[in-house]
Structures are given as C-alpha cells and as structure tokens.
Amino acid sequence: MAEIKRLSALILVFAVLFFAFFIALAFLRIPFRLYPLMSVQDVVDIFAPLVLIPLYFLLYRLDSKIPFSFSGLIVFIVLATFWVAGHGMHLSANSINNLLVQEGMETGDIYKLTYFLDEYLSHYLWHIGIAGLSALLIYRNWKILCLIGNPNII
C-alpha cells in the first residue's frame, strides 16, 4: 500500500511539474530583470531537464526490488542526453531568433540557421528524448508486470 501511495505522489508531482515546464511556461514571456535580453521563460526553462530527468529516473527505478539491465540504463542515459542536447540548443537558438525578430532581421542566413536550429533540429532531438523516456518507462513497467506474473494489471 505504501508503494502505491509513493507511486501516486510521484506521478502527481511529475505531472504537475511537466505541465508547469511545458504548458504554463508559455505565459512567462516577460523580460528577465537581471538580464533583459532574456525572458523569464528562458530562465525558468533552463531548469526543466534538471528537474524532470531525475523524476523520470525515479519512475524508472520505482521498484528497486527488480533489477534493471545495464542496456536499459544506457538507453535511459542516451535518451536523457538527446533531451538535454535538444533542449539546450532550443534555448539558445530560440533566444537568438527572438532577438533577431525584435531587431527586424527576419531575413538572411543567420535568421534561417537559428530558425532551423530552434524550430526543427532542437525540437526533434528534445522530443525524441522525452517520448523515448516515456516509452522506456512503459516498457520497463510492462516487463515488471510480466515478471511478477500479474498480466491482469495491464
């Protein structure tokens, strides 16, 4: 019973923080006082992978009685790396792109490159990481259910 309460609390915390970092963050597009070239959204967004990846790992390691494979851990690390690389690229390219738009410089190679890095490459890497981690959690928990021999839970 304690395990279910812990799981419920962890999933609730994860869901609230995921919502905060991916949906509510859109409403923080105001200048950051300490460095006005950045927005509050950019500053808060820096913390998304720092907060959410450890929560993904806690969910991944939820049942500590059942060992996880070395290959599963490597997949977790690779997917987390995709997320961090894409997220970091998105933050920097997005900030530069926003500044170019503010300055009326929406033409030229610098704008095209930052737009591509911001809206395409970074998002693909970032979302592959997020979706991959979610799929990994589902797969691991499916395997755990099969190991304990209770397919009715699925």
pLDDT, tens only, 51-90: 999 999 988 887 666 677 788 899 999 999 999 999 999 9
Element at 8 (helix H, strand E)? helix 2-22
What is each CA distance from 144 to 63, 74, 76, 111, 141, in whole angstroms? 8, 18, 17, 48, 5
| Per-residue pLDDT reduced to its tens digit, 23-46 | 888 888 888 899 888 888 888 999
Q: Is pTM beyond 0.75 here?
A: yes
Q: What is the CA radius of gyration of the chain?
A: 19
Q: Fill in the amino acid letter for 153.
A: I
Cα separation, 20 vs 61, in Å, equals 23
| Per-residue pLDDT reduced to its tens digit, 133-152 | 999 988 888 877 777 665 55
70-102 vs 109-116: helix crossing angle, rounded to 10: 150
Q: Where are the domains of the chain?
A: 2-153
